[in-house]
Structure 1
């Protein structure tokens, strides 16, 4: 089985003194100024979504003051993407339906192993049966020893989600993907070496002498024994730590600009850690002690509750609400045993439902007393969130101080009297983002396919056969240097590059690479300041239909650009004729160059852009000065056994054919990939006026003619 994935790539730069490799973790940055604020709103009556509303059915108040609705969208996930509406944005094509966001949060400390096994099975059922294919899922764990640990960013890759659920992070070293979109190498998911079925996993593990499930259980028991052995005071501190860590999780998730449905699977913590004990006999005994003057016998926290932790819990719930997190809590304890009855083996009960209930009710979520009920509850959530009305208002006058501003949406007109659910507010720009927040924000941008951005980037890619079952996908990214430098004229520039191949039908990640670079602007010189950075990387993919998602980030300012490039990899076993788009070699010294080198232990991939023994780098969007000769390179295979011929045709921006000069005589030679042929020619541009054109070249060598096109700018 071939390997389809590679880890973070090592990069060698042709201009070594100009560029350095930086750690592949996003740096702290300032948020980009907000021009407008989107408020997703769900409207329901008796649990059913209300359809057919318009902007006139809503009023938006910010800090108590009414603001006009600048734009209005409707997204209905019960429709196909083609049927999505985009009311209120006249002149625009219908918007793709945005995904919904679900986080599965496993509590490894305040839950026993048996309960966690039940929660894993329930979580797998949720992913398989309750969540729509276009929704994104994240997996996170909590333990008192390490706090909140995001295992997997919000992703469409269900195989990765199941891998995270099964492992709960045990024996997973991390570092496979800096955006946490892949916990396991995609190749292991493809060839079946990572088993998601827990029953099958045990069968395979016995054969190797490695029982992954047993190892995971032992790890979890060690965490839980620490909680069970702790005295009441220490357990109270552990509850305080949980509340603090969940507040941090809320701030982390605020970077994901959407409503997050957090499913928290836990047995909860002792009610007495926050509220007064519910044990009536204990309350009577403390009353007797007070009446007898034995005040020292009375546990004040157990009698009246811990006001400090109650205040911390209230603040945590407020943080979750402000970050637009709806928490659905699930008591995963044995449904036949009360938490007050304790646990097998004499271990003290660490369960309780008041904290779970408070978290759910305080954020607008649901509390489930039985893990078997969560599927039904989530199906209700999915029904209620089928229709989303997106109300947009301008926030240009908001002071850029990072402060929180309250939002209130009132239903009027047709919507009057209906239940309205929306985010409680928003943070003004200006607040700093920490590296972990940027990871979630970048992951959201990439997986939600929010294409576009402030850093102009051109892309050229095409599939070359490595063998009958696998293709090499060279990716050339041309990134504008002035945009990276920014208006302040930075002397040191950071660049983060991410490339993911996402299977179009399933949303699975099939391969990826990433890299972080540092550029000394003065040392880079005119090649960078006048043109920019040209980066070469490669992916390996089997036959299929993909979307390449290519993200460029300047981490200091947070500016970015996402390009989505459709890619179809053919079945090379058919032996069909192949012809790549016409390639225009760049002149030397035009760009600051960086390329991917193989990782440790990996063999180098062949370089596809060769004409005989001469390597070249083609331009992603060729530009030629009128009157100059445009060099052209054609690469193909299985074109035929005869002498090749080629013709050219130009059309202008309006689609009109223009006079096209003839091509220079063809010169043939071997290309860089086995079985491919390179054909060199040139096109005169003397008679072309400046403007935008499409160049179509038709080539044949005894077989059927093939035609490929590229954009061309004449200046």
Structure 2
């Protein structure tokens, strides 16, 4: 028996169906208040609010050694008792190779501004970003890479991840589809299509939009209509008016581009609110022209001011561009809103002036004033910094990291019943001369996250092992050797039917299944994705009986891995998460795999995932050429008691000693005896199998744990396993 394809309720080729999770987000030019995504709960209730705080002195040095008594926190004006306090020295954790909590973890987003940067500056910024990723990020840090342009909006290239390879590929290519691609729906791992990795995407300067039609219409008028003596006199004022109109139209065009950028950043706030902890967005840009928001700068404007005064005194004040002279109040107001939304979502926007050293003017721009004030306008409202006049941009990254070395996590108990409501936080420091950076408040969870919020939230769950159990999930993973290839690792996911149906949308259940294999450095080495669309009229009884059992195969070289599985039900925002640690052994040495329990067919709705291209491995769960269905729990009694399969390599079954103790519900243990149901001699590849039966009469119905020991008669080595056991 094996896993059949259930095409009548499941997409036949799910890997080629459109993904519901949006990989590119074109943010609308309307500010949206940030909302946090609901996490597996139909009742909105905040029990513990965690507030990460960075404290540093005037020189930007992190201050260590503070206690809860040094902080006073109020929530909507009400003083809160700090019930949880933690000082986390990220540099020390990195040295000890430990991972902080998601609230304290440093989350960096490298955001490349393609609309306000030259190709040369973008090239320099990529070099600095690569150095930041390779040399400055610690093992405890995560980062994401994104781009922004007025035409294409905000594009997330790589999700928050610790995978330096994925970040490097994203930085080198900036998402150029000709040289970058990924099949990962959560953007945790990325691969490059090869080719010229140093070539960037087409960059646009975002300059002017001139209308020359009016000039041509005048120049082409025949002299029969406009006499030669009067032509110049007629053209002169018209051209002057056209110049003013086109200049103003150009200013309006560029001002609209700046407004679009400000509104986009406001919407990024809503997006990043779904990520726990503080988010440090590092904008790599030359900045927009600040006069589009705040009016003309003081320097170099005397002649223009005199000319404008003459025009006004001559009775032609309508010709003046007041936005250019005094600034645009709507844009300034939008900047304030953007800053507030980012602070509410615990986002600090920093900027690195990738122009490098600037003078007072830029000859390339017609001797206009060369200013990075536009970057200050973007970062000031969030409490961020602008790093400028540094041709070696890596020094700017070092200065930024210096402030983030120590994080204080303040926690307090709170409850709420108004989804999406914002609570304002105020933090007072009792230590003099200390500067604190913290979020301005928090939102009560909302049950309707966007697709991109779901992408970020799912990535955070997988990366930080966030407990999710609204959907009950069990996972079994076991490696098997494959000649000429990396070992195959079948992954069996058991999804509890009743909890799956609890997230149904009417008579259907639509869900996404994500499986990732992370190595010790938190790099994604392989992954699986499956979408399922279940018609409850057809499969409801089968789901109610047990649930859905999925079978897919990873390919992993020898090493240690964390197999992380997430089941997400979009209609209800229900999630189920499970982590299983796995060692893929060197099969040339004596090897005993994790024992696998068998299961009776017909009790689960079974789904076999689509095989990956280039894989030739067969179904490995066979003993004496008879296949069986693997189970995460061994049912040892009842009408159809099941067996336990041992898979051996370079080990003779006749030389094995198998012993076990059963852990009882009261904490005591009980010796058990095994009977060999069948066994095979080592084949040409030195592989063999043993099928065991367990004798444990008189056990009451319930859940137990079996401690199993396997060793040769010589005692030269031993292997220990713990196996869940159930008595129905």
Of 247, 252, 256, which aligns to 2:266? Answer: 247
Deviations along 1:140-166, one digit per CA (max 9) or x if unpaired, are 111121111111111101111111111
Describe the shift of the 1:149–1:692 C-alpha distance in structure 2 as closer, same or farther (beyond 3 A): same
Of residues 11, 16, 21 in structure 1, which corresponds to 2:7?
16
CA distance in structure 1 between the partners assigned to 2:674 and 2:504 by the alignment: 47
**What whole-Å deviation, never above 9, does each CA across 1:376-430 have from its counterpart, x for those lacking one?**
343333233222222222332x232312221112234xx4653222111111223
Q: Which residue of 2 aligns with 1:404?
A: 422
Q: 1:488 to 1:130 in 2, by over 3 A?
A: closer
1:381 aligns with 2:400: yes
Secondary structure (helix, strand or coil) at the match of 1:321 reads helix
User: For the Cα contact (< 8 Å) 2:73–2:428, is it kept in 1?
Assistant: yes
The Cα of 1:352 is off from its aligned counterpart by 4.2
Alpha-carbon distance between aligned partners in 1 of 2:689 and 2:265, rounded to the nearest angstrom: 59
1:650 equivalent to 2:661? Answer yes
Matching of residues 286-301 of structure 1 within 5 Å = 286-301=308-323
In the TM superposition, residue 436 of structure 1 has moved relative to its aligned partner by 0.8
* Alpha-carbon distance change, 507 to 661 in structure 1, aligned in 2, over 3 angstroms: closer
2: CA distance between counterparts of 1:349 and 1:471? 63
Q: Take 2:62 and 2:180, find their aligned partners in 1: how far apart are those partners?
A: 43
Determine the C-alpha separation between the residues in 1 that align with 2:393 and 2:647: 55
| Correspondence for 1:201 | none
Residue 705 (structure 2) aligns with = 693
Alpha carbons of 1:497 and 1:487: their partners in 2 closer, same or farther (altered >3 Å)?
closer
Tell me, yes or no, if structure 1 residue 464 matches structure 2 residue 493. no
Give TM-score, length-normalised by structure 2. Answer: 0.83
Query: 1-side partners of 2:481 and 2:37: how far apart?
Result: 41
Alignment partners' CA distance in 2, 1:469 and 1:123: 35
- Who is 2:252 aligned against? 233
Distance 2:489 2:562 in 1: 12
Cα deviation 1:539-595 (Å, max 9, x = unaligned): 1112222222222212222222322222222233xx211111222111111111112
How many Å separate the matches in 2 of 1:685 and 1:41?
55
Provide Cα deviations, 1:193-237, integer angstroms capped at 9, x if missing partner. Answer: x4xxxxxxxxxx5xxxxx5545x36x22xx326657693221122
2:573 pairs with 1:558: yes
Matched, 1:155 2:161: yes
Pair 354,228 (structure 1): closer, same or farther in 2 beyond 3 Å: farther
**Residue 17 of structure 1: CA displacement?**
3.2
1:534 aligned to 2:549? yes
1:442-487 CA distance string (max 9 Å, x none): 1122123324433222111122122476211111111222222228
Contact 2:209 2:253 in 1 (8 A): no
3-state DSSP class of the match of 2:526? strand
Q: Which residue, out of 663, 666, 678, partners 2:689?
A: 678
With over 3 angstroms needed to count, the CA separation of the structure-2 counterparts of 1:645 and 1:270, relative to structure 1, is closer
Measure how far apart 1:370 and its partner are: 2.8
Q: Please name the residue that 1:393 is paired with.
A: 412
What secondary structure is seen at the aligned counterpart in 2 of 1:246? Answer: helix
**1:511: Cα distance to partner?**
1.0
- 1:54 Cα deviation (Å)? 3.3
1:25 aligns with 2:20: yes
- Following superposition, the deviation at residue 78 of structure 1 comes to 2.8
Aligned residue for 1:545? 560
User: Where does structure 2 lack aligned partners over 5 or more consecutive residues?
Assistant: 23-35, 211-248
Larger Rg: 2
Residues 254-303 of structure 1: per-residue CA shift (max 9 Å, x gap): 11122111110111111221111123232332233223433244221111
Deviation at 1:137, TM superposition (A): 0.8
Number of equivalenced pairs: 659
Q: Aligned residue for 2:586?
A: 571
Q: Which residue of structure 1 aligns with residue 90 of structure 2?
A: 77
Change (3 A) 1:707 1:267: closer
Q: Which moved more, 1:548-557 or 1:286-295?
A: 286-295
In the TM superposition, 1:151-550 aligns within 5 A as: 151-170=157-176, 171-172=178-179, 174-184=181-191, 194=194, 211=196, 213-214=198-199, 216=200, 219-220=202-203, 223-224=204-205, 231-278=250-297, 279-280=300-301, 281-338=303-360, 340-343=362-365, 352-372=371-391, 374-396=393-415, 398-412=416-430, 415=431, 418-430=434-446, 432-467=448-483, 470-486=486-502, 491-504=507-520, 506-550=521-565
The structural deviation recorded for 1:669 is 7.0
Tell me the equivalent position of 2:142: 136
8 Å CA contact 1:152–1:182 kept in 2: the answer is: yes
Q: How does 1:586-625 map to 2 (within 5 A)?
A: 586-599=599-612, 601-625=613-637
Give the whole-Å Cα distance in 2 for the aligned partners of 1:547 and 1:501: 6
Residue in 2 that maps onto 1:61: 74
| 1:630–1:585 CA distance, 2 compared to 1 (3 A) | closer
In 1, Cα distance between equivalents of 2:408 and 2:356: 40
| Inter-CA distance 371–594: structure 2 relative to 1 (3 Å threshold) | farther
**Which of 25, 45, 53 is residue 57 of structure 2 equivalent to?**
45
Please, what is the CA RMSD of the aligned residues? 3.3
Which sections of structure 1, spanning at least 5 residues, go unmatched? 1-11, 87-93, 189-193, 195-204, 206-210
